[in-house]
Amino acid sequence: MAIDAAAPLLDVSGATVRFGGIHALTDADFAIAKGSVTALIGPNGAGKTTMLNAITGMVAISDGEIRLDGTDIAGLAPHKRAAAGVVRTFQNLEVFTSMSVLENVMAGRHALTRYTVAASLLRTPGFRRAERQCRERALDCLEFVGLADDRDAPAGALPYGRQRLLEMARALAADPKLLLLDEPAAGLNSKETARLGDLITAVRDKRGVTVGLVEHDMDLVMNVSDHITVLHFGHPLAAGAPDQIQANPEVVKAYLGEDE
């Protein structure tokens, strides 16, 4: 897929995040090109999840800029960033276990529906139309991730790996411009991770959604990423294509390991 590196969808410039006297991010830059899968890697404590939290508004930056399609979003509340198209999943599963699989995905879509409380109580034609469209979109997302046959099952009854797919479907139901995945392969076996890699690629190629990926599984990262940024204690250490990152001596030594 052609990637327009000159026009990043997301451009984080000089971001600094402090927790008391600890600098989780210091003057950190991170860009995600439109139409790409861009990974952010580094060891625990490097600042990867803090970067995602800063992008989505869950933590505030004390310095720097966060621009989505050229528009500064650093001052927006998390729900307004989501409405602008920044949607994420979390490292820990966040499914509604007592709801059905379909209801979970519809919950991700409901943020885009437009009807009043009165309309829902009276079940007006507009409400019924919006709910029908929400259901159709949710079913389409379940079909895309391979969970259509489980739509009526309780979400909590799904195996762990399929709950990960459910989170992906729910995020896609919100029609993201940018989908941020925080360690989506955590807890998956090799077969499930391979399926996840295919799905991430399909999200980019078939859905046209730009993907930002934080992940420790280097095989997955190298297989699906167009571009990789490496964080080192809150600072960018390197950025480039997967082959460039693999060949970078500092990265190999610090993160990927090196042969004796």
pLDDT digit string, tens, across residues 33-80: 999 999 999 888 889 999 999 999 999 999 999 999 999 999 999 999
Query: Which of 173, 205, 222 delimits the end of a domain?
Result: 173
Considering the entire predicted model, what is its pTM? 0.88
Give yes or no for a contact between 49 and 42, defined as CB atoms under 8 angstroms apart: no
Residue 90, domain member (yes or no)? no
- Taking the C-alpha atoms of residue 33 and residue 2, their distance in angstroms, rounded to an integer, is 10
181 and 68 together in one domain: yes
How many structural domains compose the chain? 2
Q: Which pLDDT score, from 0 to 100, does residue 115 have? A: 53
What's 54's domain CATH number? Answer: 3.40.50.300
Give yes or no for a contact between 10 and 71, defined as CB atoms under 8 angstroms apart: no
Q: Which pLDDT score, from 0 to 100, does residue 1 have? A: 42
Q: Which pLDDT score, from 0 to 100, does residue 137 have? A: 93
In the chain, % of residues over pLDDT 90: 72
Residues of the chain below pLDDT 70: 1-6, 110-128, 130, 255-260
145 and 199 together in one domain: no
Q: Which pLDDT score, from 0 to 100, does residue 127 have? A: 57
Q: Which pLDDT score, from 0 to 100, does residue 92 have? A: 84
Q: Which pLDDT score, from 0 to 100, does residue 113 have? A: 61
The domain of 136 spans 96-173
Residue 75, domain member (yes or no)? yes
Query: Which of 173, 198, 223 delimits the end of a domain?
Result: 173
Structure tokens at 142: 């379940």
Q: Which pLDDT score, from 0 to 100, does residue 63 have? A: 94
Give yes or no for a contact between 237 and 228, defined as CB atoms under 8 angstroms apart: no
Q: Which pLDDT score, from 0 to 100, does residue 233 have? A: 86
Residue 250, judged by CB atoms within 10 A of its CB (0-12, 13-18, 19+), counts as exposed
Digit-coded pLDDT (tens) for 1-20: 444 445 799 999 999 999 98
Query: Which of 133, 154, 173 delimits the end of a domain?
Result: 173
DSSP state of 113: -
- Taking the C-alpha atoms of residue 234 and residue 16, their distance in angstroms, rounded to an integer, is 9
118 and 231 together in one domain: no
